[in-house]
Structure 1
Amino acid sequence: MDRIRAARRVIDPVCLATPLFRSGGLEQGLGCAVSVKLETANPVRSFKARGAEVVASGLAEHGRRALVCASAGNLGQALAWSGRARGIDVTVVASRSAPAAKLERIRALGAGLEVVDGDFEAARERAAALALSDGVRLVEDSLDIETCEGAATIGLELVDAAVPFDAVLIALGGGALATGVGHVVKTLVPAVEVICVQPLGAPAMTRSWRRRSVVTTDSTDTIADGVAGRYPIPAVLDDLLLVADDAVLVEEASIVAGMRMLLDAAGLVVEPSAALGVAAILEDRDRFAGRHVVTIVCGSNVDPDAYRRWVGAVPAPGT
């Protein structure tokens, strides 16, 4: 907790104190009290700005001027933004299948970008090879504790808001968000239920949590690219087992319905990963009826053409 509080002190103020608000529109459609933690209200439109700030601050403090990471898009943008402010050269390795809008934004923020064939795991292998050959810092989301501590500052803000809630729904991918927020919640308000949500088409971490040992998958099949990993990190799973009360899988149709509901009821354009919490409520309304649920809207970097296909509306440029 001391390290998480210290992380909050080094994060750029524009990435802190994101809005937390009750959404009457969502509540009417979902049958429970819903508060939205809007992690898209920062320059890179993703919660990953918090962890990136902690990483970049530490590198700059120790005089290191280069890093490389693998990213599905959001971490790369966040590190590019944080690195640019501190004179750190950032190289991002991404899969060719990553959303074009995310890749374009990485370039626009001044990072070097290498695109590889295959999925995120192929990008992760290439990033590790580059870091070794070039002798620079490899930043691995969720494995590097700074990324978890940055995400955990969201938990501090939820608790500090002093608005009683019964459960928090957290998108589950590599695990930084879930383990970070989960640790704070379970330390400070242990009665609150920590529920992780993952797509049925990318279930590796959820299956691992259920089995209490690492389960890998051969492939992923989901529109939620930000959480589509196949190889859970053992140390991250160990942390998740300590803080998660449940891990659930949701259908693709529910993710799309959640995106549409966030647009129609709350005026929010979000990427699929950010709709996982709403999707979980849609699939199990009885579980949440009469409760106050917080859902973390974790990112809004979505390709406009894909969004139109899924939701039937086009986000405005720059949304």
Structure 2
Amino acid sequence: MQGTRLDTARIRAARRVIDPVFLDTPLYRCEALEPGLGCAVSVKLETANPIRSFKARGSEVVVSRLIADGARAAVCASAGNLGQALAWSGRDRGVEVTVVASRYATAAKLERIRALGARLELVDGDHERARERAAAIARRDGIRLVEDSLDIETCEGAATIGLELVDAEPPFDAVLVALGGGALATGVGHVVKAVAPETEVICVQPLGAPAMTLSWRRRSVVTTETADTIADGVAGRYPIPAVLEDLLRVADDAVLVQEASIVAGMRMLLDHAGLVVEPSAALGIAAILEDRDRFAGRHVATVLCGGNVDLDAYHRWVGAA
């Protein structure tokens, strides 16, 4: 795909440094979902790995390059999943990892970061405050700041999901991808448009955290004062200009969905597929629920990008049904 920061040859090479436990995740048509959605639906299950998220595909590439450069420490800001991924990738390779997160982040994600051996620092405020603190630590200690979506390794690691999607037969009519910082959307989108350009790439974001979608629509960076959504994994407020430029080249559409639709998607995945997913992973299903006519008669794939949930919150959202 011309015009993005990503490179298909590097993406294929990334598969060689990613632990196989994170590769070739289940991809299957989930017929039990289809009566309620009105279209054929395949799910790409990125929860079936040790950190229950796609993020380790990128962190594996990051850490492999850190080691190649002789670096042994890194810091990142995270809503939870990137922190777990970087901690996992660094743990057995002798890379000391510091994760900065909002103290209001999902408790289960924070506990897992600690369990994986990373140093965890909590800040007041949201993810953007965590990004500022992580950058300050990197400057103070002279260590690598890992910035999700800005660092090309995170995008090209995520793009290996795209390689697995385009190998499917027959090809999909559309691929629905959660949109937050943009690593997943630009990575998958780059590969899909390079290999199967007729497949529509649709990015999905919560209405309560719309910064990247608004930026895509306006073709310039739009920031928001707040982010109010249960989908904490995609709740950024300050899009990165370089990532937006990539997104503009690979995304056919970017849509916003309501919180009620996200919850309904989570409930459908539990009731009809036996899958417990975090809100960000249900965005694709939410998009279909809100626009059934658009997808009627088509075969759609959606990436279930994470399954790290606070159980009490999950039961409040889904358990009443």
Name the TM-score, length of structure 2 as normaliser: 0.97
Aligned to 1:18: 25
The CA RMSD measured in Å over matched residues stands at 0.9
Aligned to 2:78: 71
- Give the CA deviation at 1:163: 3.1
Is residue 268 of structure 1 aligned with residue 251 of structure 2? no
Letter in 1 for 2:207: L
Query: Following the alignment from structure 2 to structure 1, what is the Cα–Cα distance between the partners of residues 246 and 29?
Result: 30
Residue 99 of structure 2: which of 92, 103, 108 is its match? 92
Query: Following the alignment from structure 2 to structure 1, what is the Cα–Cα distance between the partners of residues 320 and 300?
Result: 27
* Contact 2:128–2:236, Cα closer than 8 Å, also in 1: yes
Aligned to 1:119: 126
Structure 2: gaps (5+ residues): 1-7
- Give per-residue Cα distances to partners, 1:255-287, cap 9 Å, x unaligned: 000000000010000000000000000000000
- Give the CA deviation at 1:160: 1.6
| Corresponding residue SS for 2:122 | strand
Residue 306 of structure 2: which of 293, 299, 317 is its match? 299
Aligned to 1:135: 142
Aligned to 1:317: none
- Give the CA deviation at 1:162: 2.8
- Give the CA deviation at 1:62: 1.9
Is residue 215 of structure 1 aligned with residue 219 of structure 2? no
Aligned to 1:244: 251
Query: Following the alignment from structure 2 to structure 1, what is the Cα–Cα distance between the partners of residues 113 and 139?
Result: 22
Letter in 2 for 1:247: A
- Give per-residue Cα distances to partners, 1:28-74, cap 9 Å, x unaligned: 21110000000011100000010010001111122210000000000
- Give per-residue Cα distances to partners, 1:225-245, cap 9 Å, x unaligned: 000000000000000000000
Residue 145 of structure 1: which of 125, 143, 152 is its match? 152
- Give per-residue Cα distances to partners, 1:85-106, cap 9 Å, x unaligned: 2110000000011000000000
* Contact 1:307–1:313, Cα closer than 8 Å, also in 2: no
Letter in 2 for 1:132: R
Residue 281 of structure 1: which of 285, 288, 291 is its match? 288
- Give the CA deviation at 1:16: 0.2
- Give per-residue Cα distances to partners, 1:203-246, cap 9 Å, x unaligned: 00000000000000000110000000000000000000000000
Runs of 4+ in structure 1 over 3 Å off: none
* Contact 1:94–1:120, Cα closer than 8 Å, also in 2: yes
* Contact 1:69–1:93, Cα closer than 8 Å, also in 2: yes
Aligned to 1:166: 173
Aligned to 2:108: 101
Structure 1: gaps (5+ residues): 315-319
Letter in 2 for 1:57: S
Residue 81 of structure 1: which of 76, 83, 88 is its match? 88
- Give per-residue Cα distances to partners, 1:121-141, cap 9 Å, x unaligned: 000000000000000000000
- Give per-residue Cα distances to partners, 1:148-193, cap 9 Å, x unaligned: 0000000000112333210000000000000000000000000000
Name the TM-score, length of structure 1 as normaliser: 0.97
Query: Following the alignment from structure 1 to structure 2, what is the Cα–Cα distance between the partners of residues 72 and 179?
Result: 19
Identity rate, percent: 82
Letter in 2 for 1:72: A
Query: Following the alignment from structure 1 to structure 2, what is the Cα–Cα distance between the partners of residues 106 and 5?
Result: 29
- Give the CA deviation at 1:313: 6.7
Query: Following the alignment from structure 1 to structure 2, what is the Cα–Cα distance between the partners of residues 258 and 289?
Result: 17
Residue 51 of structure 1: which of 47, 54, 58 is its match? 58
Tell me how many residue pairs correspond in the alignment: 314
Is residue 255 of structure 1 aligned with residue 262 of structure 2? yes
